[in-house]
Structure 1
Amino acid sequence: MMKFSTLNNVYELEDTHSYKITDTFTVTSKKATNVDLTFNVGAQGDSPYQKDLSTEVSGGNAKITDDDFSHKKMTASAYVKPGEGVEYQLTRTVENSGIKYTEDLSKTSNDYSKFSDYNEYTSPEQNVESTSKQIKDKASELFSGIDNPYYKAKKAYEFVNMYMTYDSNNANKGALNALLTGKGVCEDYAELFTALLRASGVPARIVTGYWVNSGEFSSRTSIDPSNDAHAWAEYYLPSYGWIVVEPTNEYFYNNNRVIDYSYFSNLSDSGHFIEGYTPQGDNKDSTLYYSYTEGSGVKVDRKTTIEILDK
C-alpha cells in the first residue's frame, strides 16, 4: 500500500500492479494500395489511480504525435499488397491501483478560480447536454440548498445509481435520454452523472477504457479485454484533484436495491484501465481512422491485450 499527500489531500493506493496494454493493428487489402492510419491514443492521463509509464509504437514508419490539445495520436502509412498484411503495434505500460481517500473530501472549498480547465469541464458536449432545461431542472432539484461540490457529487451518484436501469437497447444515447428514460449502459450512467454536475458548476468528465475483474489474471498473465469495455466518471474538487466515481454498479441487500457507496470516490482494486477522457467527436479517444487510394477491400483489424507484469 502506498500513501500520498499533497497540500490538502491524502489518499492510499491499493492493489498496485504494472500492466502492458498492447493494441495490434493488421492492415489487409484485396488490391494493392497506400493506406494512411491515425489512431487517437488520447491525452496523458492525470487520474491518480493510473500512472502512464511509457508509450511505444512499432511497425514501418509508425510514430506518436501530439496535437494542439495534447491528444496523442499514432500515425502510420503503408503500401499494402493483396494477400499480405501489414502490422503495427501500440504498447502502453501503466501502473494501476485501487484508491482510497483517507481525508474527509467534504472539507473541500467550492473555489475553482485556480483550476485552469474549469470552463472545459463545466460546458456541454455531445451526449452531455448540461444546458438542457430538463438536466438543469433536475440538477436544481437534486442540489437544492447544497453548495459543497463534494455533496453535489454524492447526491448525483445516489440519484444515477438508483434511478438508472442497465439496458443495452438504450445504449450510448446520452445524458438527456438517460434522464428521460432511466435506461442506458455504462456510458449513459457516466454522462448523466457528468451532465448533472456540469449543470451546477462542478467540473466532471467521462472516462473510457476497461473494467477488468482481477480474477481474470488468476490463471494467466495476459487477457483479451474486448468484453470488458467500460465508461465511468470523475469529478474535480479544489485541492484534491480528480476523484473517481463508478455509478454503473447495482447492489442488492435482502433483495432490495440499495446504494453501494464503496464505488463513490473509491476503487478497491486495479481493474479500471483508462483509455481516454474524450468519448465523442473527432478526438474521440481509442478510435481508429484510415484512408486509402485506388484500393478495394481494405480492412484494419484491431486486437487488444492486457498483460500483468508483476503477478
Structure 2
Amino acid sequence: MSEHPSRIMWVFAVLSSPEDQGWQHVFAALAQTEWGAKNIDSITLIVIGVIAREDDIFRQAAEFGVDSVVIVDIGPLFGRTSTLAEACRVLMTREKPVVSLFSGGPSSPMTAFVAAEWADHLHGSLVFPASSFRVMPDHTVQTIEDVEVGVTQAVRTFREDQPMVIVWDAPRVSLQRGRGLHKPLPEVERLPISVSPQDSEITVLRQIPPTPQERALEDADRVVAGGRGIGGADGFAILEQLASALDAGLGASRVAVDQGWVSYAHQVGQTGKRIQARLYMAFGISGAPQHMEGMRNCDTIIAVNSDPSAPIFEVAHLGVVGDAREVAQNLAAAIGQRRIGEMT
C-alpha cells in the first residue's frame, strides 16, 4: 500500500456561455504542462458553466488524459459572484484535489475570480500566474513563474500536504493535437447549482472585447501580422483596422518591432510569441527562420509579399504576390463595406 494519499488533479474550465472556447486553454495546459503522469492518480475536468458540443469535450478530454468530467451547470447566472461561490462550496463536499489547475490567467477575469474563491475554500496556496508546474516523484509540487517574461523565472516547491491552486496563462493549442493517450471516454457527472438571482450584489452586464492592440496573441483565433514590407507605423495602423474587422490579434516580425513600428508584445517568433492560431495573415513578412518558428503551427497561413521568392511562401497555404500595404488596405475596406451592407 502506498504511504501517500490518492493524488487527484482537477482542471477547471470556466465558460461564460455555450459558445465560450475557454476549454481549449485547458487542453493547452494539459498538453504542455510538465507533470509526470505516474505521479498523478486521476485527473478530473471541472466545467463551470454551460458547454456546447459536449461530445467534442469528452473525446478531447480522453485524449488529454482526463478520467472523469463534472459539469457544474449554473446557466444564465454565470456572471453572479454568489453563484460561482456556491459552485465552489458544493465542490468542497467531494474528495479534495492536491492540484487545481485553472487556465486563462490574467486575461480571463472570471477564471481568476473562481480560482481565488476556490483557493480560499481549500485554504490552499494560489500561484498566479504560473508558466509551468509539475508534480515531483516525492509528491511535492514545483511551480515555475515568470518574474520577467523571457528573462527571469522563479522556481518554487510546495509540500505535499499543501493544496495548490495554479492559474496558468496558457496559449491555445490546435484541437487536433492531443497527448496521444488512448483512454476510454471519461465518466460524466452533472452537478446542478440553484441560486436565487437576488442573492448577488454584483452582476456582469457585458464583456467588452479587447482591441487588436490589447488582445493577447496566445488567445487569438486569428492573427494579422506585419513586417518590413508594410512600410512603417502608418502601415500597422492599416493592419490594426483589418485586425479589428476580423476580430483578430495584431502580430509583427522582429524587424517591425526593432524599427519601433509596434511594441514587443506583438512580436511573433523564436524571441517573441509562439502561437497556434486558426488563421495567420502575414503582410510584408519575408519569413526569416526565427519568425516562422513562432507561427508555423498555425492551422491556415496566408502570406502577402511583393517578392515571389520570399521563404514564407514555402509554409503558406495561400500566397499573394503583391504590395502588402495595398492588399491589406483593400481587404480592410472590403470587409468594412460588407459589414455595413449586413447592417442595412
Give the TM interval when normalised to the shorter protein.
under 0.3
Quick one: higher RCO (CA 8 Å, sep 6+), 1 or 2?
1
Which structure has the highest helix share of the two? 2
Which structure has the highest strand share of the two? 1
Give the TM-score normalised by the residue count of structure 1.
0.23
**Higher CA-based Rg:** 2
